[in-house]
Amino acid sequence: MTAVSCVFCSGERPAADHKVMDLGATTAYVHDDQFFTGWTVLVLKRHATELFELAPDERALMMDDVARVAAGLHALYRPRKINYECLGNQVPHVHWHIVPRLADDPAPRDAVWTVAHTPRPLAGPALTERVAMLRSRFGG
């Protein structure tokens, strides 16, 4: 997959209204499915498919973004644990899924991908509110 055909590079995904903010090396978005409340996706601002393709300073900046988002999610939701996923099997562009695992998590020992559930998309005022809440926590 080239950058031209990459859904992240083309702007096809994530949806523009899910954008929380630019962080440095990445851009943060509210994940489409909020079954796991606070699920955030960080997309590297340039096309790369593997972590080793990033220069050490760029990789360090990206990890600072990951830690910044995790700290903001922790402050906001006080989860039992935060999960970090950087897979790229479906979208081969470096990106992180940062998922707070809350006290009411129905399957706390399972990966979010394996938990059967009805998706909970946010739209309208609920999405706007979530974006604003996350922006306020990631901003500092």
Tell me if residue 114 falls in helix, strand or coil: helix
Percentage with pLDDT > 90 across the chain: 95
Range of the domain at 66: 16-138
Summarize the confidence of residues 51-62 as an average pLDDT.
98
pLDDT at position 139: 83
Write down the pTM of the prediction.
Answer: 0.94
Has residue 82 been placed in a domain? yes
Task: Indicate the helix (H) or strand (E) that contains 58.
Answer: helix 56-77
Tell me if residue 60 falls in helix, strand or coil: helix
Residue 96 and residue 41: Cα distance in Å, rounded? 6
What CATH number corresponds to the domain at position 60? 3.30.428.10
Has residue 62 been placed in a domain? yes
Summarize the confidence of residues 116-137 as an average pLDDT.
96
Has residue 3 been placed in a domain? no
Has residue 101 been placed in a domain? yes
Copy the structure tokens of residue 43.
Answer: 């997309």
Burial of 43 (0-12, 13-18, 19+ CB in 10 A): buried
Per-residue pLDDT tens over the stretch 72-102 = 999 999 999 999 999 999 999 999 999 999 9
Has residue 118 been placed in a domain? yes
Has residue 2 been placed in a domain? no
Summarize the confidence of residues 53-69 as an average pLDDT.
98
Summarize the confidence of residues 46-58 as an average pLDDT.
97
- Count CB neighbours of 134 within 10 A: 21
According to DSSP, the residues that pair with 65 across neighbouring strands are none
Q: How many domains does the chain have?
A: 1
Has residue 78 been placed in a domain? yes
Per-residue exposure over 116-127, b if at least 16 CB sit within 10 Å of its own CB, e if not: eeeeeebeeeeb
Confidence band, pLDDT 50/70/90 cuts, at residue 2: low
